[in-house]
A and B are shown apart, each in its own frame.
Chain A
Amino acid sequence: MEILSQLADAVIKGKANDVQSLTNSALAAGIAPATLINDGLIAGMQVIADRFKKNEIYVPEVLIAARAMTAGLNILKPLISDTDMKPVAKIVIGTVKGDLHDIGKKLVAMMLEGAGLTVIDLGIDVAPEKFVNAVVEHQPDLVGMSALLTTTMPAMSQTIQLLQESGLRDKVKVIIGGAPITDAYAKQIGADGYAPDAGSAVDVCKALVQTTA
């Protein structure tokens, strides 16, 4: 359908107004909201994620694309019931305690949302207890932690420990990322996955969810 590729294209170019008007006219033409989300908005965001991963585009381009996608989602989400569209997975995400960096984690959250995951963003400076409470409350498939400082890295390990002590560790997959993090560190503290950048975070999360299923 022509309009779906137009919609994807508007997301790629980051044109929020175009996304809104295209979404409304597609709805008027009788296209199902779930189709618009999957084959229009998410398809467009997927292109952005791939290009970003390959270093073909810049951070601001990702930001405006994500904003354009959200403009479409805001119209469509109220129109669909949970049964119409099952999210790929649910993730609770946050920057760990003591760390006030937001933008990297936000990029990851946007990419994941763009890939069809339900994202619960706990924000910055998130204490281990808060992660654990969020797991109890939202029952996600994944927990994502970000740290930009070497001094805050140990908070990741503390969170994993607390999940273990609360008997929740087996219920979620833990993925970590951020500038100082390495694959070796992830293994050392017992995380399930590590993503070096926002683009590959999507792949890692999807792979982790598939191994669970």
Chain B
Amino acid sequence: MGVISVALDSKFSKRYRALARQYRTSDFNAPLALADQQGSIVAGQHPCTPCSANLEYTAHLGKESLRWGDAFIAMCPHGVYLWSIPVTDNNELVGSILSGANPPNDQSQVTRFTATARRLLRLACKHNLTNAALLRCHAEEAAREADKAQAIHSLKGERYTSVREVYLREEPNLIAAIKTNEVAKAREILNIILTEVYALGEHDFELLKALVLELVVVMYRTAVEAGGDPVELLGLNYASIQEYATITDEETLTPWLVQHLERLMAGIRNNDERPVEVQLQLALRYMQEHLAEPISREDVAGAALMSSSHLAHLLRAKLNRSYTELLSEMRINAARQLLVRTCKSLAQIAAETGFSDQSYFTKVFKQHVHMTPGEYRRQHTE
């Protein structure tokens, strides 16, 4: 650090002082500072006093501005707008120039910050504090990347993936519910997915129709994987795909969809095989529902219809955890929820999440979360 500070002092301080004189003439009084590569201030005043201690953050701003080839504007964790310009020695980043201001009362005034930041960038180029050609290169590259990202984004359609995500998230629960013959539970899960589907397709019937078909197709795949007869399921699908083509409104789409969901559920249910995901889901659900009790691995294995050693093997293979690790993780997660969402006492929470007493609860909680339950509650309910 010393070496670089010296380099900054000897080579850049003079140029920085010249820049600072010109920058002060701007229309509002924003503090200005010169930081070295590690984020230490070597001249001037950091625009956010608490942030000046966070060297890594200050250094990060400098790196970002070089990466984008432009003034980099961010709102710091303390709510101050900061803008940063990279200081370069040829092609090397050696530090940054930092300025900033408190948020204005009128949000539209924020655009003034952009203008000021750009002005600071021009001054830095003029005083040879930063390599303008290098920045231009980076800026062009960033613009190309942004265009590419934009194109991919519109091609994929963010909304489209979100339905699939919801489905995949709910799938194990869905299969478990169907397999254990809990039809109402299965419908409840499907309704969660359908709510998402209908929210996305609300204003565009063709999109809605496509999303509904997608749901049927992914569920068909689930049915086959769960042991359903592909020929039978596909036969059903083929006949109804023709019907699907003639659908033009929600009134006819709804019975079509409902009929499919019910048939696919029957297809999944009628098979006796229990895929491991289903067994795992049964085990996890049993644990979740009995967290408050002293539950043994044997209890859980019994509920998931497998041997205790098979359960241990499955947890290691699928979740990379031992039974004991998983159980205390689930208990701590449940306790975190209760700490934030309820006013229950620590003793009560300890009891409800299966800890024998409050001091043991605090000890295990600290091991996992690195703070006491009381600290956690304060931090998350302020």
Interface, chain A (partner B; CB < 8 A):
14-16, 54-61, 63-64, 67, 101-104, 107, 182, 184-185, 188
Q: How many angstroms between the C-alpha atoms of A188 and B343 in the bound complex? A: 7
Complex contact A60–B343 (CB within 8 A): no
Chain A, residue nearest B208 (CB) = A60
Complex contact B251–A59 (CB within 8 A): no
Complex contact B251–A55 (CB within 8 A): no
Interface, chain B (partner A; CB < 8 A):
183-185, 187-188, 190-191, 194-195, 198-199, 202, 250-251, 253-254, 257-258, 261, 341-344
Q: How many angstroms between the C-alpha atoms of A64 and B195 in the bound complex? A: 14
13 A-B pairs (CB sep. < 8 Å): A57-B258, A58-B257, A58-B258, A59-B194, A60-B194, A60-B253, A60-B254, A61-B254, A61-B258, A63-B254, A102-B199, A185-B341, A185-B342
Q: How many angstroms between the C-alpha atoms of A15 and B250 in the bound complex? A: 10
Question: Given that A16-B251, A60-B250 are contacting pairs, would A103 and B341 also be in contact in the complex, using a CB cutoff of 8 Å?
Answer: no
- Give min CB distance, B254 to chain A, whole Å: 4
- Give min CB distance, A59 to chain B, whole Å: 4
Complex contact A55–B195 (CB within 8 A): no
Q: In this complex, which of A58, A104, A184 has the most chain B Cβ atoms within 10 angstroms of its Cβ?
A: A58
Q: How many angstroms between the C-alpha atoms of A184 and B345 in the bound complex? A: 13
Q: How many angstroms between the C-alpha atoms of A96 and B184 in the bound complex? A: 30
- Give min CB distance, A175 to chain B, whole Å: 18
Question: Given that A14-B251, A63-B198, A104-B195 are contacting pairs, would A56 and B341 also be in contact in the complex, using a CB cutoff of 8 Å?
Answer: no
Residue from B184, B190, B250, B261 in contact with A63 in the complex, judged by beta carbons closer than 8 Å: B250
Residue from B251, B254, B341 in contact with A184 in the complex, judged by beta carbons closer than 8 Å: B341
Residue from A15, A56, A104, A182 in contact with B187 in the complex, judged by beta carbons closer than 8 Å: A56
Q: In this complex, which of B183, B250, B257, B344 has the most chain A Cβ atoms within 10 angstroms of its Cβ?
A: B250
Q: How many angstroms between the C-alpha atoms of A104 and B257 in the bound complex? A: 20
Complex contact A55–B185 (CB within 8 A): yes
Complex contact B250–A64 (CB within 8 A): yes
Question: Given that A60-B253, A63-B250 are contacting pairs, would A182 and B341 also be in contact in the complex, using a CB cutoff of 8 Å?
Answer: yes
Contacts A58-B190, A59-B198, A60-B250 aside, 11 further interface pairs with beta carbons under 8 A come to A14-B254, A58-B194, A58-B261, A60-B253, A63-B250, A64-B250, A64-B251, A101-B199, A102-B202, A103-B195, A188-B342
Complex contact A55–B342 (CB within 8 A): no
**Residues of chain A with a CB closer than 8 A to B342's CB:** 182, 184-185, 188
Complex contact B254–A55 (CB within 8 A): no
- Give min CB distance, A151 to chain B, whole Å: 11
Complex contact A59–B191 (CB within 8 A): yes
- Give min CB distance, A180 to chain B, whole Å: 8
- Give min CB distance, B378 to chain A, whole Å: 15
